[in-house]
């Protein structure tokens, strides 16, 4: 659980190109308000797919699914669980 | 005036205005580079500007298909008039879909139905490189009012519009992509002209550059984030309505080419005129364009009331594909019509002239550049899995 969150924060740091410090983001902070563009969100999705060896299905490729660290984690956990 | 007309009357009205007013004025609008005043006044008098406002707010409750049919119909007569109508309805749709929860916007929509106000788009900005989803300017709250200033390379018919929907950052500290959409009425803003509009085509749209300064009320900011407004309404509505009017434009060019070939064939019975093959190609490509537009329109209408379905990546890719395909086919088809008509099409002022059509059609690939849409799709396809 902590590992997943750390990996998400790491991916945000490397790919999200946010205007804020990743460490300052809360679990529910709105990533789009923090400056996440749709272009950067694609890079973020790709990095997470590679890191967790998952593929986000079509229904998760929506704005809401990547709106916060908590939302991303819920999706990643669902996919890891489904693969296990 | 309060009579509610059936939806097929909207298209019939557009047809009457197109053939009776917009078409006859189209060459003068084009050569003088002036606003198609007579056509827009006729649309206003026929209650066509408030057509998309729901019945309960006094409008005609038109559907997206109705608007697409109107744009196609007007596009046959005068592409500038059709584009002004399309851009206006795109703004109205943003208010209908994203402002219905606000008393201010419900009142304003009722005002559009009552007064037939003309709305323009203020999304472009000097320094953003044409990116819709990035703003430099920001809304600044000062006491009970809001202040915003923007340098826009283009506001089409900005001087003629009653209001402008403007994108800006949510506040001075907001990220460039954290945008809101603000409704600014003529009385709220000061527009200083910074650029002229003497263009190859679409000369009636009067797409001048401006420096805009406005003071408004905070309630004039649409409650939904612009990210949602753009994805769910502004972008799909733009791509569907623009493609529809380009379809109309191309249809008229093909109709002129067809008339030319029929006339030529009557003079040489027994042998097909030399341009007949080009006409056959144009007719085939026009059918492809029509199918593409109808497919995109049907997909948008199917999803229109389901925000989740509008947020699908596949839908965004489909809408970008629709626009880029229509914008590629339209000038190609018009060029085939020109090849069919030969010198009679090349010369201005004949029943077969398609010079204006060709110049207008070349704008399609440039307004939201096709390369930008293809690059966006190339990027989205990296994660899209298909249906």
Residues in CB range of B307: below 8 A, 6 or more apart: B228, B232
Structure tokens at B55: 């019945």
pLDDT at B111: 98
Chosen from A32, A48, A59 to mutate, greatest number of chain B CBs within 10 A: A32
Mean pLDDT of B86-113: 97
Helix H or strand E segment including B145: strand B145-156
Which residue in this structure is represented by tokens 């593409």? B292
pLDDT at B8: 56
> Which residues 65-84 in chain A show a CB within 8 A of chain B?
none
**Residues of chain B positioned with their CB less than 8 A from the CB of A34:** 175
What's chain B's average pLDDT?
Answer: 95
Compare CB distances from A35 to B175, B313, B314 and report the shortest one's residue: B175
Nearest residue of B to residue A49 by CA position?
Answer: B383
pLDDT at B7: 47
Per-residue pLDDT tens digits for A59-75: 888 888 899 999 999 99
Residue A44 belongs to domain spanning: 2-83
Q: How far is B227 from chain A (nearest CA, A)?
A: 9
Q: Measured between alpha carbons, how far is B380 from B376 in angstroms, rounded to an integer?
A: 6
The CATH superfamily assigned to B226-380 is Butyryl-CoA Dehydrogenase, subunit A, domain 3 (1.20.140.10)
Whether A82 shows a pLDDT value over 70: the answer reads no
- The confidence band for A83, taking pLDDT boundaries of 50, 70 and 90, is very low
Which residue in this structure is represented by tokens 């018009």? B334
Q: Measured between alpha carbons, how far is B166 from B174 in angstroms, rounded to an integer?
A: 16
pLDDT at B15: 97
Contact B379, A42 (CB under 8 A): yes
Per-residue pLDDT tens digits for B251-284: 999 999 999 999 999 998 888 899 999 999 999 9
pLDDT at B387: 61
pLDDT at A38: 84
Q: Measured between alpha carbons, how far is B180 from B228 in angstroms, rounded to an integer?
A: 10
> In this structure, which CATH number among 3.30.420.40, 3.40.720.10, 1.10.1200.10, 2.40.110.10 belongs to the domain B120-220?
2.40.110.10
Max CA separation in chain A (angstroms)? 36
Q: Measured between alpha carbons, how far is B90 from B230 in angstroms, rounded to an integer?
A: 10
Structure tokens at B248: 């109309």
Which residue in this structure is represented by tokens 């527009």? B191
Chain-centre distance of CA B359, in angstroms?
A: 17
* DSSP line for B175-208: -TT-EEEEEEEGGGEEEEEEE----SS-GGG-EE
Per-residue pLDDT tens digits for B275-310: 999 999 999 999 999 999 999 999 999 999 898 899
DSSP B4: P
Helix H or strand E segment including B358: helix B355-361
Contact B101, B45 (CB under 8 A): no
**In terms of Cα–Cα distance, which of B384, B337, B342, B340 is closest to B360?**
B337
The CATH superfamily assigned to B7-117 is Acyl-CoA dehydrogenase/oxidase, N-terminal domain (1.10.540.10)
Helix H or strand E segment including B120: strand B119-122
CATH of the domain at A6: 1.10.1200.10
* Residues B177, A57: C-beta atoms closer than 8 Å: no
Per-residue pLDDT tens digits for B30-86: 999 999 999 999 999 999 999 999 999 999 999 999 999 999 999 999 999 999 999
The answer to whether A18 faces chain B, any CB pair under 8 Å, is yes
- The confidence band for B386, taking pLDDT boundaries of 50, 70 and 90, is confident
Domain limits, chain B: 7-117, 120-220, 226-380
Q: Measured between alpha carbons, how far is B250 from B31 in angstroms, rounded to an integer?
A: 20
**In terms of Cα–Cα distance, which of B102, B100, B109, B122 is closest to B179?**
B122
Q: What Cα–Cα distance (Å) separates residue B10 from each residue in B60, B268, B295?
A: 9, 42, 22
**Structural domain total, chain A:** 1
Which residue in this structure is represented by tokens 């879909």? B97
Per-residue pLDDT tens digits for B7-25: 458 999 999 999 999 999 9
Hey, is B210 helix, strand or coil? strand
Using DSSP bridges, classify how beta strands B119-122 and B163-169 pair: parallel, antiparallel or unpaired: parallel
Contact B64, B301 (CB under 8 A): yes
Per-residue pLDDT tens digits for B183-233: 999 999 999 999 999 999 999 999 999 999 999 999 999 999 999 999 999
Phi/psi for B167 (5° steps) reads: -90, 145
pLDDT at B1: 39
The answer to whether A54 faces chain B, any CB pair under 8 Å, is no
Q: How far is B308 from chain A (nearest CA, A)?
A: 8
Q: How far is A84 from chain B (nearest CA, A)?
A: 21
Whether B26 shows a pLDDT value over 50: the answer reads yes
* Residues B384, A57: C-beta atoms closer than 8 Å: no
pLDDT at B385: 85
Mean pLDDT of B353-368: 97
* Residues A63, B228: C-beta atoms closer than 8 Å: yes
Structure tokens at B176: 């460039």
Q: Measured between alpha carbons, how far is B357 from B168 in angstroms, rounded to an integer?
A: 35
Rg (CA), chain A: 12
- The confidence band for B6, taking pLDDT boundaries of 50, 70 and 90, is very low
Whether B2 shows a pLDDT value over 50: the answer reads no
Where does B268-312 have alpha helices with state H?
Answer: 276-303, 307-310
């Amino acid at each position: 659980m902590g590992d997943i969150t750390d990996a998400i924060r790491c991916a945000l740091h490397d790919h999200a190109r946010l205007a804020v410090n990743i460490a300052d983001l809360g679990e529910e902070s709105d990533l789009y308000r923090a400056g996440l563009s749709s272009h950067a969100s694609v890079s973020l999705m790709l990095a997470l797919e590679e890191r967790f060896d998952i593929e986000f299905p079509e229904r998760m490729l929506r704005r809401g699914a990547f709106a916060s660290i908590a939302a991303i984690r819920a999706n990643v956990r669902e996919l890891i669980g489904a693969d296990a | 005036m309060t009579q509610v007309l059936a939806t097929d009357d909207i298209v019939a009205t557009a047809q009457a205005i197109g053939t009776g007013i917009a078409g006859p004025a189209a060459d003068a609008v084009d050569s003088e580079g002036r606003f198609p005043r007579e056509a827009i006044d006729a649309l206003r008098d026929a209650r066509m500007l408030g057509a998309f406002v729901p019945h309960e707010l006094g409008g005609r409750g038109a559907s997206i298909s109705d608007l697409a049919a109107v744009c196609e119909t007007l596009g046959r007569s005068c592409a500038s008039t059709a584009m002004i109508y399309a851009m206006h309805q795109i703004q109205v749709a943003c208010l209908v879909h994203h402002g219905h929860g606000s008393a201010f916007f419900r009142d304003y929509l009722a005002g559009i139905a009552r007064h037939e106000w003309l709305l323009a788009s203020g999304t472009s900005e000097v320094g953003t490189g044409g990116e819709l989803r990035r703003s430099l300017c920001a809304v600044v709250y000062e006491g009970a009012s809001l202040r915003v200033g923007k340098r826009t390379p283009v506001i089409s018919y900005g001087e003629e519009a009653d209001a402008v929907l403007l994108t800006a950052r949510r506040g001075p500290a907001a990220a460039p992509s954290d945008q809101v959409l603000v409704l600014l009425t003529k009385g709220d803003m000061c527009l200083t002209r910074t650029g002229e509009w003497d263009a190859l085509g679409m000369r009636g749209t009067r797409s001048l550059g401006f420096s805009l300064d406005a003071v408004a009320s905070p309630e004039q900011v649409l409650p939904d984030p612009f990210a949602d407004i753009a994805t769910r309404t502004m972008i799909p509505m733009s791509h569907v309505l623009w493609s529809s009017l380009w379809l109309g434009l191309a249809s008229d060019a093909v109709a002129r080419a067809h008339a030319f070939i029929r006339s030529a064939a009557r003079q040489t019975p027994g042998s097909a005129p030399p341009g007949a093959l080009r006409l056959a190609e144009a007719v085939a490509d026009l059918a492809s364009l029509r199918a593409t537009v109808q497919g995109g329109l049907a997909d948008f209408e199917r999803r229109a009331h389901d925000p989740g379905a509008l947020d699908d990546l596949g839908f965004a890719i489909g809408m970008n594909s629709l626009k880029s395909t229509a914008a590629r086919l339209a000038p190609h088809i018009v060029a085939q019509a020109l090849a069919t008509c030969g010198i009679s099409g090349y010369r201005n002022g004949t029943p077969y002239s398609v010079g204006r059509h060709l110049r207008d059609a070349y704008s399609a690939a440039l307004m939201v550049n096709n390369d930008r849409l293809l690059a966006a799709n190339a990027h989205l396809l990296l994660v899209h899995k298909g249906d």
